């Protein structure tokens, strides 16, 4: 895989709720803590928060091994962008877009880019794990929270 650039991770999911409900789940402070596993998230551009996958550490407010994030953009009800990084590494960009597919159906697309800054041979497993995290855990979690709020 040497010399190969890693493409952005793209993950998508349909969510059977109105766009405004989907936006509330995507950016609301309590909902984000639940589906994205955050510590210190606030719905304000420029602020920092942490993604902590370990539930016990998250409950204790422990940021050990957490990804660091900065809110870059919140454009209601369509876009939420944040930088994500591990200290000492380049920032990647998570761009989440919402689309309406009728009055009671939304669609979420995540484009997690910036992987081309890394040596693909050194981070291939982390890249694949992040792709699986978006498709198998985070977006299904967002959908679960949204359906509960319906």
pLDDT by residue (tens digit) across 101-116? 999 999 999 999 999 9
CATH top-level class of 9-149: alpha beta
* Average pLDDT of every residue of the chain: 95
Please provide the DSSP assignment of 32-46 as one string. HHHHH-EES--SSTT
- Phi, psi at residue 109, to the nearest 5°? -125, 125
d(CA 95, CA 134): 12
pLDDT by residue (tens digit) across 105-149? 999 999 999 999 999 999 999 999 999 999 999 999 999 999 999
Q: Domain residue spans in the chain?
A: 9-149
Between the alpha carbon of residue 45 and those of residues 13, 48, 108, the distances in Å are 25, 9, 20
* 3 has a pLDDT exceeding 80: no
Average pLDDT over every residue of 96-104: 95
Tokens representing 75 are: 């454009």
- Phi, psi at residue 85, to the nearest 5°? -160, 160
The set of long-range contacts for 128-134, using a CB threshold of 8 Å and a minimum separation of 24, is 130/9, 131/9, 131/11, 133/53, 134/9, 134/11, 134/110
């Amino acid at each position: 895989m040497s010399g190969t650039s890693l493409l952005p991770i793209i993950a998508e999911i349909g969510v059977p709720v109105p766009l405004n409900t989907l936006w509330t789940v995507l950016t609301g402070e309590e909902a984000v803590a639940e589906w994205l596993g955050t510590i210190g998230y606030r719905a304000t551009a420029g602020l920092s928060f942490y993604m902590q996958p370990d539930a016990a550490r998250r409950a204790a407010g422990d940021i050990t091994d957490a990804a660091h994030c900065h809110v870059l953009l919140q454009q209601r009800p369509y876009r939420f962008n944040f930088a994500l990084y591990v200290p000492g590494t380049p920032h990647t960009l998570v761009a989440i877009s919402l689309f309406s597919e009728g009055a009671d159906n939304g669609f979420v697309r995540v484009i997690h880019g910036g992987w081309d800054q890394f040596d693909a041979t050194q981070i291939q497993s982390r890249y694949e794990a992040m792709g699986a995290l978006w498709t198998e855990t985070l977006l299904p979690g967002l959908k679960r929270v949204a359906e509960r709020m319906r």
